[in-house]
Amino acid sequence: MDKVTEFTKGDQLTAYYTLTGKEEFLKDHFKNFPVMPGVLLLEMAKQAAAALLRLSDSSDKRYYRLTGAEEARFGQFVKPESRLKISVRLLKREAGTDLFDGHIDLMDPPFGKALSAHLVLAPVDALS
């Protein structure tokens, strides 16, 4: 994420990211048609969700991992120099997991949804 632009404690976060076109993953995915891999879109949404949790509780220094991606839908291809809007909303907190609604939208033509998914995050108890 380049910049968080909206944040409501314990509720939602909006951030932006612009692909520079120089990202290493674009060289091989795909050779003559460079696009951002879908798994990196999921990771971007996960990072936004983790940022929402940490910003909502300044004492929270934990790392979070993605334990599930439900109802994931991939839409428009994300090409070099695309500007992305990343939006996450906390839907539910239960015993050690948090459920989010996540969306990534293209801010340039062809516009539209690049990703929509329900993300399940859990804190990493220990890094080994």
Domains of the chain: 3-123 (3.10.129.10)
Asked whether the whole model's pTM tops 0.75, one would answer yes
Summarize pLDDT for 6-57 with one digit per residue, the tens: 999 999 999 999 999 999 999 999 989 999 999 999 999 999 999 999 999 9
Q: Which residues does 9 contact at the CB level (< 8 Å), separation at least 6?
A: 55, 56
Residue 21 backbone zone (phi > 0: left; psi -120 to 50: alpha; other: beta)? left
29 annotated active-site: yes
Given a contact cutoff of 8 angstroms between Cβ atoms, the answer to whether 15 and 4 are in contact is yes
Residue tagged active-site, from 29, 83, 89, 118: 29
Summarize pLDDT for 68-122 with one digit per residue, the tens: 999 999 999 999 999 999 999 999 999 889 999 999 999 999 999 999 999 999 9
In the chain the first and final C-alpha atoms are separated, in Å, by: 26
